[in-house]
Homo-oligomer: A and B are copies of this chain.
Amino acid sequence: MTSALAPTVAVIGGGQLARMMAEPAAALGIPLRLLAEAPGASAAQVIPDHTVGDYTDLATLRVVTEGCEVVTFDHEHVPSDHLHALASHLAVRPGPGALLHAQDKGVMRARLAELGVPCPRNALVAGVPEVEAFARTSGGWPCVLKTTRGGYDGKGVWFVDGPADCAAAFESGGGILAEERVDFHRELAALVARSPSGQVAAWPVVASTQRNGICHEVIAPAPDLDPELAVQAQQIAMRIAGELGVTGVLAVELFETREGRVLVNELAMRPHNTGHWTQDGSVTSQFENHLRAVLDLPLGAPDARAGWTVMVNILGGARQTGHLYDGYPHAMARDPRLRVHLYGKELRPGRKVGHVNAYGDDLQDCLERARHAAAWFAGDLGEESDGG
């Protein structure tokens, strides 16, 4: 009965990204229909119109998207053939042609090379001898091996110091991409949203810090970033979005090299961890603009609302007992301006269960507040810090 009010958006994947789309969807009066992997999945907790099923099953995808105007995604793992099949019935955004570049790193590297977008040196490799040949011509060891498909959060990535280290990568069974190990100053991310009509909104370029291959901390905007390099990073993201025909959010993770260049590391075609700061730190969040983009509505302003916004992920840590909720009273009382985003997930060591945003005019203050809160929620603070 809601479909008469606004077009229904189908979302494939029940993780926290879909969950966080539900907030602006409710505000905008946009009905969502979700396909979740399991009952009680993060997004299924907050989206009434949901089905539990397998996103690799085309029949399931057809049933879920029936009557929807557009389908979009919480992740990039829906098989390409299924996306093409769905595209005959409704708008698939991002479309399969674009999404392929986020699904397959080999395809992505080849295309970016064609476009002249700066990337680390790279080559598809079929075995150890090819890695050795690559290393000889591309800066030597150590280098990086990545599965072309299915890697995320540090999984499917190997840092190898020599031929003897390469076995694990090739035993993984997929295609393998070798890349030079970039001696980077830091990691940046350029986030844009693009609509089918071609409108693009670019958020300020951020600095991100990884921990064990998982995005851990984001500072918006990236401190002391050369303005020319910031524009260059945004232009790279806009160019990729346009050339690949991306619809929705595109996150471009970049290395800022010690020589002051930017090189594209990874692409994601969905709301991204490096954009969670936008929920509280910008006029329009990545989740809202993703929905607006896939519906081909005009995009909201991506401007920052504060001098600085710091996002820190909450990962299940040392505290093995208790629930996240136990952490609320201290975190909220200590910092009444803290913005808390939790995903409805049980705490498990290393699992992303939420994030916090702290914004303000003083970067050090924002860093301290966000880091303290995230550590507190994760149980990583000792007793001596309880009153801090």
Contacts and interface: CB of A to CB of B under 8 A. Distances in A.
Contact of A7 (B279, B325, B346): B325
* Max chain B Cβ within 10 angstroms of own Cβ: one of A7, A39, A343: A343
* Max chain B Cβ within 10 angstroms of own Cβ: one of A19, A325, A345: A325
A329 interface: yes
Contact of A337 (B283, B325, B333): B283
A337 B301 CA distance: 5
Interface string A22-65: 11011111010000000110001111101000000000000000
Interface stretch (A178-186, A203-211, A292-300): A292-300
Contacts of A284: 336
A48 B40 contact: no
A345 to B, nearest CB: 8
Count of chain copies = 2
14 contacts: A1-B39, A4-B323, A4-B346, A20-B26, A27-B340, A29-B342, A31-B45, A48-B48, A298-B328, A298-B329, A298-B336, A299-B332, A301-B336, A301-B337
Contacts of A329: 297-298
A20 B27 CA distance: 7
A88 to B, nearest CB: 25
Interface residues of A, number: 55
A6 interface: yes
B298 A29 contact: no
A46 B48 contact: yes
A95 to B, nearest CB: 21
Interface in A86-122: none
Interface string A277-306: 001000110000000100001111101010
A40 B300 contact: no
A interface majority secondary structure: loop
Contacts of A50: 48
A379 interface: no
The 8 closest A-B pairs by CB, nearest first: A29-B342, A298-B333, A298-B332, A301-B336, A6-B325, A48-B48, A1-B40, A26-B46
Given A48-B45, A323-B6, A29 B354 contact: yes
A140 interface: no
